Amino acid sequence: MKRLTSLTCYYYLIFTLLILVGVNTVNAAPAQPKQKNIILATTTSTQDTGLLDVLIPIFEKKTGYFVKTIAVGSGQAMTMGAKGEADVLLVHSQAAEKKFMTDGNGVNRRLVMHNDFIIVGPPSDPATIRQSKKAAEGFKKISMTKALFVSRGDNSGTNAKENEVWKAAGIQPEGQKWYQQTGLGMGQTLGVTAEKKGYTLADRGTYLAMKKNLGLDILLEGDGVLLNIYHVIEVNHAKWPKVNAAGAKAFADFMISKQTQATIKTFGIEKFGSPLFFPDAEKKIEDLGK
């Protein structure tokens, strides 16, 4: 009898697995017609703050498109776009974006929103950057006191901004003992920074989202150079015929639509007490931060 039950168990297992396959083949087939899929390559910050979790369901419901959000660094997002492996990008890496456009990889680059980068560090602030107004000055102090600086080092938008500031400060931090690169996303990099009691450059949204567990303070903010500006770019359909141009346009249009902009404006207030992003669709880039 014992043998019988064990065999039953065995067959039951196989049976269960078979059912799983059955269920799966139904689900695995695209739920929408092919052209309904949109691949959105974006930065981790838009996903990690939860903004896209709010916006995308609205967009999908409204248009019937199915958005596959691939959250990677801005650098990788643009690489995907340059290979025609994404339809639309939501990124925040100005210099790289401009190159992306001049290379003819994208069309219709439009301003969506901004928030800002902040320099965070331990409340004790050993490098005393709290008194500084300019980001470059703060970085200089960090390098002079050899206080630990944690960089994402992942070619993301935040990383690009950080490099821009180092350049402005005239410092080449790579290879220095006090300069460490995590190669991780913003959230994890903040975690590392908190553990090591170092400094890092972060986007405000992610910082606010994680603040409760970190024990890091905002030590420097408000410098114009620290603006974190998000653009939406449609990948050039002419260059990559497989790109879902209509879908990309629909998503880009949605991002700058009045309703969406209003949603962005209030996003985060409830949870963090202040908004995480500032809608900019109506503005010019020169006017930001004023």
The encoded tokens of residue 81 equal 């776009």
Residue 135 vs 235, nearer CB to another protein: 235
Dist. CA 197–CA 191, nearest whole Å: 10
Cβ atoms of 260 and 254 within 8 Å: the answer is yes
Find the part of the chain contacting another protein (CB under 8 A) among 24-32, 128-136, 145-153, 172-180: 24-32
Longest CA–CA span in the chain (Å) reads 81
Positive or negative CA dihedral for 203, 208, 209, 211?
A: positive
Dist. CA 107–CA 88, nearest whole Å: 10
Q: Which residues pair with 17 in a beta bridge?
A: none
Residues in 233-262 that interact with another protein by CB under 8 A:
240, 242
Tell which one of 43, 46, 47, 158 touches another protein (CB under 8 A).
47
Find the part of the chain contacting another protein (CB under 8 A) among 44-52, 129-137, 155-163, 276-284: 44-52
Residue 35 vs 131, nearer CB to another protein: 35
Residue 224 gets which letter from DSSP? G
Find the part of the chain contacting another protein (CB under 8 A) among 159-167, 171-179, 186-194, 266-274: 186-194
Residue 6 vs 145, nearer CB to another protein: 6
Task: Examine residue 58 and tell whether it contacts another protein (CB under 8 A).
Answer: no
C-alpha distances (whole Å) from 46 to each of 117, 156, 208, 230, 235 are 14, 12, 13, 10, 19
**Which residues in this chain contact another protein in the complex, by CB under 8 A?**
2-3, 5-6, 9-10, 13-14, 16-18, 20-21, 23-24, 27-28, 30, 34, 37, 39, 44, 47-50, 53, 56, 66, 68-71, 83-85, 184-188, 190-191, 206, 209-210, 212-214, 240, 242
